[in-house]
Amino acid sequence: MRLTFRNILAACLCASVLLPAGAMAQEVSAGITGAVTDPSGAAVVGASVSARDVSRGTVWPTRTNEQGIYFFPTLPPGNYDVAVKAPRWLRKVAANRTLGGGGMTGVNLSLPNGDEDGDNEVAIGDYAILSANFGSGGPAGDVNGDGDVDIADFAIMSMNFGMMGDD
Q: Kindly list the residues in this chain that would bind Ca ion in the complex (CB under 5 A).
A: 115, 117, 119, 126, 142, 144, 146, 148, 153
Residue type, 54: V
Q: Which is nearer to Ca ion, 27 or 146 (CB)?
A: 146
Distance CA 87, CA 142 (A): 11
Q: Which is nearer to Ca ion, 47 or 75 (CB)?
A: 47
Q: Which is nearer to Ca ion, 75 or 149 (CB)?
A: 149
Q: Which is nearer to Ca ion, 3 or 151 (CB)?
A: 151
Distance CA 19, CA 167 (A): 41
Distance CA 72, CA 32 (A): 5
Q: Closest distance between Ca ion and the C-beta of residue 117, in Å?
A: 4
Q: Closest distance between Ca ion and the C-beta of residue 91, in Å?
A: 11
Q: Closest distance between Ca ion and the C-beta of residue 155, in Å?
A: 10
| Three-state secondary structure call for residue 126 | helix
Q: Closest distance between Ca ion and the C-beta of residue 66, in Å?
A: 20
Burial class (CB in 10 A: 0-12, 13-18, 19+), 72: buried
Beta bridge partners of 43: 37
Distance CA 79, CA 91 (A): 19
Distance CA 166, CA 164 (A): 7
Q: Which is nearer to Ca ion, 99 or 130 (CB)?
A: 130
Q: Closest distance between Ca ion and the C-beta of residue 39, in Å?
A: 15
